[in-house]
Amino acid sequence: MKHSEYPRLILLMLPVAIVFLAFFLLPMARLILIGGSGENGFSEYLSIFHTPRHFESLVSTVLLSAAVTIAAVIISAVTGVFLERNRFPGREVLISMLTFPLAFPGVVIGFLVIMLAGRQGLANEISQALTGSRLVFAYSMAGLFTGYLYFSIPRVILTIMAAAEKLDPALEEAARSLGASRWQVIRDVILPALKPALIASGAIAFATAMGAFGTAFTLATNIDVLPMTIYTEFTLNANFATAAALSIVLGTITWLALYISRSIAGSTVAAAA
């Protein structure tokens, strides 16, 4: 029955193949070509290292994304393992709250940061009441960090909780009964077992932060993160070749981050995210 079914399987695959070819593969190929169609030719792709403004934008985006990733993974690991390990009233509500913002668009998260750290924000009011000084950081790097952290935590926590669920408590008991301290158990038993999930979720957080446009669009009016640089080059400067080359570079970085994490951590974990 196998061989006679080949044509039908191909028929089922055909619609998706046509859509993808026409609207994804072909446009992507064209974008790559356009990236090399400027006056610099294909060396436009290296311009990100030669043009100081682009290079700074790349470096600050990578640093910001890396910082957000590390913070999100640490925060999510602590809360994720805690919520998976302990049963108490209200636990389900807390889990819902932590994963609730998962589907928020970046612009809304940018606005929430304005609510927290803008001129009329909560941070400013608390600071005025306590110390009398103003505290407004929504439109700075700290504001971007806050926003990126906001959308990273739910993504990371889901993956880590799924992995923490599979931890074997017997191993920890064994370690403890052999005299291991609390920190030794965390370092030698829990962390190694969570490692694939930490890597996979970290890569997702990093890739999302690198490509985040909505949050930056709301907050980074004065900050050059790579998506904003691409947007400016495309819409304001009508510099299509540069915008195309930069977005191909950006896409390659995010794809590589996810690809590398999957080859280290295994595809099962990444697929769970």
Partner 1 sequence: MKRSRIFYVNLAFTLLVCAFLIVPIFLSMLAGVTVNFFQGIKSGLTLSWVIEVWSLYADTIFLSLLIAVACLICNLLIGVPAAYVLARKSGRVARMIEETLVLPIAIPGLAIALALIVTYGGIREFRLSWLFILVGHVLYTLPFMIRSVLAVLSSFDFRTLEEGAASLGAGFWKRFRTIIIPNCRAGILAGSLMVVTLSVGEFNLTWMLHTPLTKTLPVGLADSYASMRLEIGSAYTLVFLIMILPLLIALQLYGRPRAAKTTISDPE
Give the nearer residue to partner 1 in terms of CB position, either 26 or 142: 26
CA atoms within 13 A on the CB side of 242: 23
Q: Taking CB under 8 A as the criterion, which residues in 37-66 touch partner 1?
A: none
Structure tokens at 267: 């595809």
**CA pair distance 96, 154, nearest whole angstrom:** 10
Q: Taking CB under 8 A as the criterion, which residues in 115-144 touch partner 1?
A: 115-116, 120, 122
Which of 38, 154, 196, 202 is the binder for partner 1 (CB under 8 A)? 154
Which of 51, 213, 232, 239 is the binder for partner 1 (CB under 8 A)? 213
**CA pair distance 156, 160, nearest whole angstrom:** 6
34 is a site residue for partner 1 (CB under 8 A): yes
227 is a site residue for partner 1 (CB under 8 A): yes
260 is a site residue for partner 1 (CB under 8 A): no
98 is a site residue for partner 1 (CB under 8 A): yes
Exposure class string for 228-247: b at 16+ Cβ within 10 A, else e: bbbbbbbeeeebebbbbbbb
25 is a site residue for partner 1 (CB under 8 A): yes
**CA pair distance 247, 28, nearest whole angstrom:** 10
Shortest gap between Cβ of 211 and partner 1 (angstroms)? 3
Query: DSSP assignment, residue 238?
Result: -
Please state the φ and ψ torsions of residue 210, each to the nearest 5 degrees: -60, -40
Which of 51, 60, 99, 140 is the binder for partner 1 (CB under 8 A)? 99
Give the nearer residue to partner 1 in terms of CB position, either 86 or 131: 86
CA atoms within 13 A on the CB side of 198: 15
Shortest gap between Cβ of 106 and partner 1 (angstroms)? 6
Give the nearer residue to partner 1 in terms of CB position, either 42 or 234: 234
Alpha-carbon distance values, 35 to 107, 211, 249 (Å): 28, 18, 10
259 is a site residue for partner 1 (CB under 8 A): yes
36 is a site residue for partner 1 (CB under 8 A): no
